[in-house]
């Protein structure tokens, strides 16, 4: 995406079909990576290579997530069966196998699709793991129960802090109406 003194960001850099919203994230990643590697007077080859490596990684991860929807589908139509039979990138095959074998989902420090998204597609497409991560076996029943209670209370607390949907809409509708009135 970075060649000599030109950098392709956004749709000029590529497009992944809109099964999920990816374009804005790829624009943001392109800009942030450029800022982090922005050249001084000269563009160092190492900066160009690193930018291209980071952006390739972003595209590959998004591609894998989008393809996951197709390769795990269970529909009978010819299109969908063809999707299941196509060649998959090795990185996607690895992600599917690790989840299928031990319920491990991809975890990245940065990236658009975090573990909850991967888990939603895996389970939503009926890929049920054969086993679990064996590290879970090191927890006693009491430790596991305490951990699950902690997670449940954390979720409950966060939900309790949220307004209901109608209140949220009313709040932001009033804010928007007020800002428009001030602009007129």
CB 107 within 8 A of CB 159: no
Q: What is the largest CA-CA distance in the chain?
A: 64
Task: Pull the structure tokens for residue 21.
Answer: 């919203």
Q: What is the pLDDT of residue 165?
A: 86
Q: What is the pLDDT of residue 183?
A: 60
Q: What is the pLDDT of residue 162?
A: 86
Q: What is the pLDDT of residue 179?
A: 67
H or E stretch covering 147: helix 141-161
Task: Pull the structure tokens for residue 166.
Answer: 């109608």
Q: Which residue has the tokens 């966060």?
A: 158
Q: What is the pLDDT of residue 17?
A: 78
Q: Number of C-alpha atoms within 13 angstroms, CB side, residue 130?
A: 5
Residue-averaged pLDDT of the chain:
88
Q: What is the pLDDT of residue 38?
A: 84
Q: What is the pLDDT of residue 182?
A: 60
Q: What is the pLDDT of residue 119?
A: 93
Task: Pull the structure tokens for residue 4.
Answer: 């000599």
CB 92 within 8 A of CB 71: yes
Angle between helical axes of 90-102 and 45-71 (0-180°, round to 10): 60
What gap in Å lies between CA 22 and CA 79, rounded to an integer?
A: 23
Report the chain (184 residues): mean pLDDT per 10 consecutive residues: 90 79 88 87 87 93 93 92 92 94 85 88 94 84 90 90 86 76 60
Rounded to 5 degrees, φ, ψ at 60 are: -65, -40
Q: What is the pLDDT of residue 180?
A: 65
What gap in Å lies between CA 94 and CA 121, rounded to an integer?
A: 16
């Amino acid at each position: 995406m970075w060649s000599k003194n030109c950098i392709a960001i956004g749709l000029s850099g590529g497009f992944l079909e809109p099964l999920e919203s990816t374009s804005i994230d790829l624009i943001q990643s392109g800009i942030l990576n450029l800022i982090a590697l922005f050249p001084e007077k000269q563009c160092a080859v190492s900066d160009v290579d690193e930018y291209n490596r980071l952006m390739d990684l972003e595209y590959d991860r998004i591609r894998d997530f989008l393809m996951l929807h197709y390769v795990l589908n269970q529909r009978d139509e010819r299109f969908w069966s063809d999707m299941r039979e196509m060649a998959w990138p090795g990185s996607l095959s690895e992600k599917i196998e690790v989840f299928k074998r031990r319920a491990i989902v991809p975890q990245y420090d940065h990236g658009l699709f975090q573990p909850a998204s991967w888990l939603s597609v895996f389970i939503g497409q009926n890929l049920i793991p054969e086993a679990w991560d064996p590290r879970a076996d090191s927890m006693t029943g009491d430790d596991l129960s305490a951990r699950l209670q902690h997670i449940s209370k954390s979720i409950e607390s966060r939900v309790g802090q949220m307004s209901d949907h109608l209140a949220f809409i009313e709040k932001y509708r009033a804010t928007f109406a007020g800002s428009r009135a001030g602009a007129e």
